[in-house]
Amino acid sequence: MWDPSWKGYRKMYDERVLERINEGKAGYSKIDYALAYASWIVHDAFKGAFAWEKIKLQRTPAASIGIDLTKIKYEVGDPHKMSVYVKRAAKFFGASLVGICKLNRLWLYDGVEIDDKFEYAIVIAIEMDADGIATSPSALAAAATGVGYSKMAFILACMGEFIRNLGYDAIQCGNDTALSIPLAIDAGLGELGRNGLLITPEYGPRVRLCKIFTDLPLEPDKPIEFGVKDFCRKCKLCAIHCEANAISMDDEPSFEAVCKSNNPGALKWYVDVEKCYLYWCENAIDCSTCIKVCPYNLRTARKTLSPEEFWRLGVIDV
Ligand code: SF4
Ligand code: SF4
């Protein structure tokens, strides 16, 4: 987006939406796009979701006479017990998975500075709707993604306020501020896959990620391994099905970047995210095919679903 020499420079991936609707293809109708655009609304409209400070005073009778829980610090005697509270709160607010890690500042974006007191990251994974994703690359899969982002806004806001009400600080982040996937790996939520996404044991890559940095004393989790790297060496399904040929077919991961938008120096299969984005522009909506076809997703999801079947689910038997 910053490089004028690139083909996709400042190109919006849904620029061709009207053309796409007029083509009359299943999964790209006005009703499908209406759902996809609606799905993002909480994420886009609720800026408090990504607050670094108290969003709003408590709306309670006590608040009206100046009683503010944020001013009274909850003494944490046992970080393990506090972690249980935090994880339960995250699940209560709608998280599918939650883990905790020490905040490794290597994962912060260039130029971002976070006070040293923010020692921990609470990392949350939100399951995306399996039936929507099963229609990828249609606009209905994009709707599943959008719902993931809107749920993220809700959970982040509630978690940030929960922590502040205990007298501690919270920095709520979506895709901003730091790389979510390495933090999720550190927090024990999964491993990195060939498709460049976090693979969780529970949902495979069919999750959205967000994180909260805090000074609340917590107990970090440990990274997990359940054979993803070995499985990816042979599987390659995401690479085979990617319309953009953006995913590596190499047997072995490497340290070499494949495009200007990658960060070199980590051992992994690099995804050509520029090719990926240009395919989104051609598709006139984002794509989730490398999530849909992953066998770790298919443990808990159906393989494919037509847009017509999607719309009838739960309303008319399919
Ligand atoms: S999102 Fe679609 S285009 Fe991009 S890497 Fe995945 S399968 Fe390929
Ligand atoms: S589709 Fe196969 S190769 Fe790709 S991330 Fe999933 S397991 Fe790995």
Could you write out the DSSP letters of every residue in the chain?
Answer: ---TTSTTTT--TTTTHHHHHHHT-TT-SHHHHHHHHHHTHHHHH-GGGG-SS--S---SHHHHTT--GGGSPPP-S-HHHHHHHHHHHHHHHT-SEEEEEE--GGGBPTT----TT--EEEEEEEEPPHHHHTTTTSHHHHHHHHHHHHHHHHHHHHHHHHHHTTT--EEEESSSSB-HHHHHHHTTS-EE-TTSSEEBTTTBT-EEEEEEEE-S---------SSHHHHHHHH-HHHHH-TT--B---SS-BS--SSTTS--SSSBPPB-HHHHHHHHHHHTS---HHHHT-HHHHTSS-S---HHHHHHTTTS--
**Spatial contact of 288 and 133, defined as CB atoms under 8 Å apart:** yes
> From ligand 1's centre to the CA of 28, what distance in Å?
18
- pLDDT value at residue 54: 85
Residue ID of nearest Cα to ligand 1 atom 6: 290
Buried residues in 236-257 as b, exposed as e (16+ CB within 10 A): bbbbeebebebbbeeeebeeee
Q: Ligand 2 pocket test: which of 230, 232, 291 has the largest number of ligand atoms within 8 Å of its C-beta? A: 232
> From ligand 1's centre to the CA of 274, what distance in Å?
10
Residue ID of nearest Cα to ligand 2 atom 6: 294
Q: Ligand 2 pocket test: which of 235, 250, 276 has the largest number of ligand atoms within 8 Å of its C-beta? A: 235
Which residues does ligand 2 sit against, CB inside 6 Å?
193-195, 231-232, 235-238, 293-296
| CA contacts within 13 A on the Cβ side of 225 | 4
Residue-wise pLDDT tens digits, 209-251:
999 999 999 999 999 999 999 999 999 999 999 999 999 999 9
> Quick one: which atom of ligand 2 is closest to the CA of 194?
5
> From ligand 1's centre to the CA of 317, what distance in Å?
31
Low-confidence ranges of the chain (pLDDT < 50): none
At 134, list the tokens: 């099963």
- pLDDT value at residue 57: 67
What is the phi/psi pair of residue 47, to 5°? -70, -25
> Quick one: which atom of ligand 2 is closest to the CA of 236?
3
The C-alpha atoms of residue 219 and residue 76 are separated, in whole angstroms, by 11
- pLDDT value at residue 318: 55
Q: Which residue type occupies 164? A: R
Q: What percent of the chain has pLDDT over 70?
A: 99
**Spatial contact of 155 and 95, defined as CB atoms under 8 Å apart:** yes
Q: What is the number of the ligand closest to the CA of 271?
A: 1
Q: What is the number of the ligand closest to the CA of 295?
A: 2
Residue ID of nearest Cα to ligand 2 atom 4: 238
- pLDDT value at residue 1: 85
- pLDDT value at residue 12: 95
- pLDDT value at residue 179: 97
What is the phi/psi pair of residue 258, to 5°? -110, -10
Q: What is the number of the ligand closest to the CA of 258?
A: 1
